[in-house]
Amino acid sequence: MNKKSFIKGVYFYGTFLDGLMGVLMVISIYTRTLIIPYSSTSNEYQFAMGWAASLMFGWTVLLFWGSFKPIARKSILLMTAFPVVSGLILTEIMTDAMGLANIWLFQSIAIMPVLLISYFLSTKIEQSNVQRE
């Protein structure tokens, strides 16, 4: 697998995960899911999950768009790592501290190095393309 294919795969992996989480967030407004094991019928919870799902779907589209020009749009990878994934990790740590089960913490921590590696590979590819010109 070449570097560009790896980077594109990272975009698609993020697209899949964000799309899946968006769907699960919408479902969790009405019922518990395996991934989001808590739900509430309170207006506050439904409002927060509706907003979160909208943002998750927006990021899904952004990552999908980035996959078409993965090197030129490498900044999306960095923005996904900081503040998005790092913010999710902090939120998941707080959720665990509150006693709510959260199995996405380790997945989020695992994706961070992959995003950063992809970003730096993109930078390296971009620099080598500039030097050729």
Task: Tell me which residue of 37, 35, 12 sits closest to 23, measured CA to CA.
Answer: 35
Report pLDDT for 50: 95
Q: Could you tell me the residue range of the domain that residue 66 belongs to?
A: 3-132
Q: What is the pLDDT of residues 46-94, one digit of tens each?
A: 999 999 999 999 999 999 999 999 999 999 999 999 999 999 888 888 8
Domain count along the chain? 1
Residue 133 binned pLDDT confidence (cut-offs 50, 70, 90): confident
Q: What pLDDT does 126 receive? A: 94
User: Could you report the per-residue pLDDT of 8-22, keeping only the tens digit for each?
Assistant: 999 999 999 999 999
Q: What Cα–Cα distance (Å) separates residue 10 from each residue in 43, 71, 73, 102, 115?
A: 35, 12, 13, 23, 7
Q: What is the pLDDT of residue 67?
A: 98
Could you tell me the pTM of the whole model?
0.88
How far CA 92 is from CA of 6, 16, 49, in Å, comes to 27, 20, 15
Q: Identify the pLDDT of residue 109.
A: 80
Decide if pLDDT at 129 tops 70. yes
